[in-house]
Amino acid sequence: MNGTHLWKRPEAEKRIGEVLDCAKLGQPQYIDDNIGTFEVRFISAKSNEIAGDFLANGGPADSD
């Protein structure tokens, strides 16, 4: 499965591993429920530097 996908809840429950794997790849997944929609996104525990900070510092630091 590639890209963002809208799942019906019963199908998402059967294929939860695929739903989570797609979200982990940066592809938001949506699950339709009878009273609303769930949005599944992956947020990494690893902290990434903000692009503006990276550019303001002139890019990566030299290793020497």
Q: Which domains does the chain possess?
A: 5-56 (3.40.1620)
Whether residue 48 contacts residue 36, with contact meaning beta carbons closer than 8 Å, is answered with no
Whether the predicted model's global pTM rises above the 0.75 cut: no
- Angle, vertex CA 41, rays to CA 43 and CA 20, nearest 5: 100
Residues with Cβ within 8 Å of 4's Cβ and at least 6 positions away in sequence, in order, are 27, 28, 29, 30
Q: Which residue has the tokens 């290793």?
A: 63
* 1-27 residue pLDDT tens: 567 899 999 999 999 999 999 999 999
Average pLDDT of span 36-54: 81
Whether residue 8 contacts residue 32, with contact meaning beta carbons closer than 8 Å, is answered with yes
